[in-house]
Amino acid sequence: MRKFKEYIIEKLILASGLASIFFVIVIFLFLLKEGLAVFKIVTPANFLFGKNWYPISEPPQLGIFPLILGSLLVTLGAAIISVPIGIACAVYIAEVAPVRTKEILKASIELLAAIPSVVLGFIGMVTLVPWVKSIFKLPTGLTALSGSIMLAFMAMPTIVSIAEDALYSVPRSHKEGALALGATHWQTIYRVLLPAASSGILAAVMLGIGRVIGETMAVMMITGNAALMPHSFLQPVRTLTATIAAEMGEAVVGSEHYFALFAIGIVLFVISFAINITADLFLHRKR
């Protein structure tokens, strides 16, 4: 009887494990099936590098280059803001802060991660967007820059907590060795601790960026959603994610537009997958 129970439990656990793999494969296949259909109408090169996204004109123009650039621009901006601040924050928490400050900071960063993106988007819309508009004297504050700033807030918790972990797990003996040679605290940090933690910090950055590029709600609310070729941070852009979210509701099932949105999904999937794999490589790189 006991053996039988063990057997059942073992198989149930196995089934749960297989289920997650199964679902991933099914989702992926569905995405491929629906997305690849668009290439009957448009060549992959024209799809990826076409400059016009007019999915419901006749005939539809399905070039997603402006959307890819929109996503990259917003992500790049967010990375430029969040990476230096995030790493500096991680260094402060891991190395400089007194125990009490450290606890408070760590808790508040977790709290930052817990804010739903739609709330961040909303706050951005009523505070950041008007500021950007008046500071740069623009016709609208719904710009790539606003999106980048808001997304930087979303990337920061990931970057800080993973980078802090990486710094924390540098063996204490490295630090002692450097200090015992007469290095100052700062010299120890940037000559020993940061290089020793570099793979973990790179992984933190990649995961932070991965979070930004997949983010939808906040960017949709504050980047202005104009599917135009972006030329600067100070104009409205539209990202890949926002396009899917905004248009899927009105696309006719089985239309070119519908298939094109799925194909955008494939592009996003490939980008996120590449970022996660890179992060993984850094995290597990053996020294």
Partner 1 sequence: MKIETKNLNLWYGTFQALKEVNVAFQEKRITAIIGPSGCGKSTLLRVFNRMNDLIEGVRTSGEVFIDGVNIIDHAADLVSLRKQVGMVFQRPNPFPLSVYENIVFGQRIHGAMSKGALDEVVQQSLESVLLWDELKDRLNESAMGLSLEQKQRLCIARLIAVQPDIVLMDEPCSTLDPQATQRIEELMRELKKNYTIIIVTHNMQQAARVSDDAGFMLLGELVEFAKTEDVFTKPKDKRTEDYITGKYG
Supply the minimum distance, in Å, between the C-beta of residue 182 and partner 1. Answer: 4
User: Which of 106/174 has CB closer to partner 1?
Assistant: 174
Q: Which is nearer to partner 1, 175 or 211 (CB)?
A: 175
Output 176 or 250, the one with its CB closest to partner 1: 176
- Computed over its alpha carbons, how large is the radius of gyration of the chain? 23
Query: CA-to-CA distance for 185 and 105, rounded, in angstroms?
Result: 21
* 176 residue type, one letter: E
Which of 53, 282 has the CB closer to partner 1? 282
DSSP letters spanning 221-258: HHSB---S---STTS-B--HHHHHHHHTTTSPTTSHHH
181 binds partner 1 (CB under 8 A): yes
φ, ψ for residue 176, nearest 5 deg: -60, -40
Kindly state whether residue 173 participates in binding partner 1, applying the rule CB under 8 A. yes
By CB under 8 A, is residue 97 in contact with partner 1? Answer: no
Kindly tell me which residue out of 191, 232, 273, 274 binds partner 1, with binding defined by CB under 8 A: 191
100 touches partner 1 (CB under 8 A): no
Contacting partner 1 within 118-147 (CB under 8 A): none
Give the shortest CB-172-to-partner 1 separation in angstroms: 9
**Phi/psi of residue 281, each to 5°?**
-60, -45
Contact string (CB under 8 A) for partner 1, positions 195-224, x = contact: xx----------------------------
- Residue 62 β-bridge partners: 53
Q: Cα separations (Å) of 178 from 87, 175, 181, 279? A: 21, 5, 5, 28
Report if residue 178 touches partner 1, rule: CB under 8 A: yes
Cβ atoms of 162 and 204 closer than 8 Å: yes
H-helix or E-strand containing 126? none
Binding of residue 21 to partner 1 (CB under 8 A): no
Chain positions contacting partner 1, by CB under 8 A: 171, 173-174, 176-184, 187, 191-192, 195-196, 287
